[in-house]
Amino acid sequence: MKESKNKKKLIDKIEIEKIYEPLEAIKLLKECSFVKFNETLDVAINLKMDSSKTEQNIRGILNLPKGSGKTIRVGVMAKGDKAKEANDSGADIVGDDDFAQKITDGQIHFDILIATPDMMPTIGKIGKILGPKGLMPNPKLGTVTQDIKSAVLNAKSGQVQYKNDKAGIVHAGLGKLDFTAEDLLENLRTFYLSIVKAKPDTIKGSFVKKVTIASTMGFGLEINATTLR
């Protein structure tokens, strides 16, 4: 009973209509976490765009300076020396045609897939499976590369991929709530600035309409994005 009273007191602190300063919002979400697991700090950035126009869509990848706090399972499709390089770098699953067959059979036990360029014809055959899941390797995202070691280490160290959805919103997890508020703020600022920088030339005027942060099970708080610059 006492616990539910404490929860109510914490909920009463939250003003849903208020636009918070980023650090204040992060501290409030940390303080108001009720669940027994370590929640993630999620961000949603509403963008001024028309997602039906290909040239206005954005996607990219970046390393969070303080890491993501998430264990990323990395799959690598490569042969010979490059397969050995992947194993030596800590990839979770490594293979070539046999790996492609596992994917065809529905065995998708990885969060990110990296491939050497010579494997792309094989990957093309399973593109219909990988594409809808957002797992298709892409040279622009650094997941089709000869530098397998760097790609694996980057993926493991707290790299996040992003792309806007049909509503023109970009979502990402920016770390765990047990991170310090300052570390979460640094990740948030890095992510926000990366999105601002990704603004397509065809979009005139302001690009970001609204930035909201929330914990996995918590409330969404709108923040004053101008102070992230």
Rounded to an integer, what distance in angstroms lies between the CA atom of residue 89 and that of residue 206? 41
Q: What separation in angstroms does the CA of 190 have from each of 23, 158, 194, 196?
A: 14, 13, 6, 10
Q: What confidence score (pLDDT) does residue 171 get?
A: 96
Q: What confidence score (pLDDT) does residue 4 get?
A: 59
54: exposed, middle or buried (Cβ count in 10 Å: 0-12, 13-18, 19+): exposed
Rounded to an integer, what distance in angstroms lies between the CA atom of residue 75 and that of residue 7? 41
pLDDT tens per residue, the chain (229 residues)?
A: 444 565 666 667 788 789 999 999 999 999 888 888 999 999 999 999 999 999 999 999 899 999 999 889 999 999 999 999 999 999 999 999 999 999 999 999 999 999 999 999 999 999 999 999 989 999 988 999 999 999 999 999 888 889 999 999 999 999 999 999 999 999 999 999 999 999 999 999 999 999 999 999 888 999 999 999 8
> Is the model's pTM score more than 0.95?
no
Residue given tokens 């909920």 in the structure block? 11
Q: What confidence score (pLDDT) does residue 1 get?
A: 44
Rounded to an integer, what distance in angstroms lies between the CA atom of residue 33 and that of residue 28? 9
**How is residue 212 written in tokens?**
């909201």
Residue given tokens 């209509």 in the structure block? 17
Domains, in order of start, for the chain: 17-68+159-228 (3.30.190.20), 74-156 (3.40.50.790)
Residue type, 173: G
Q: What confidence score (pLDDT) does residue 159 get?
A: 86
**What is the four-CA torsion angle of 132, 137, 139, 140, rounded to 10 degrees?**
40
Rounded to an integer, what distance in angstroms lies between the CA atom of residue 13 and that of residue 31? 10
Rounded to an integer, what distance in angstroms lies between the CA atom of residue 160 and that of residue 169? 16
Closest CA to 108 of 132, 84, 138, 85: 132
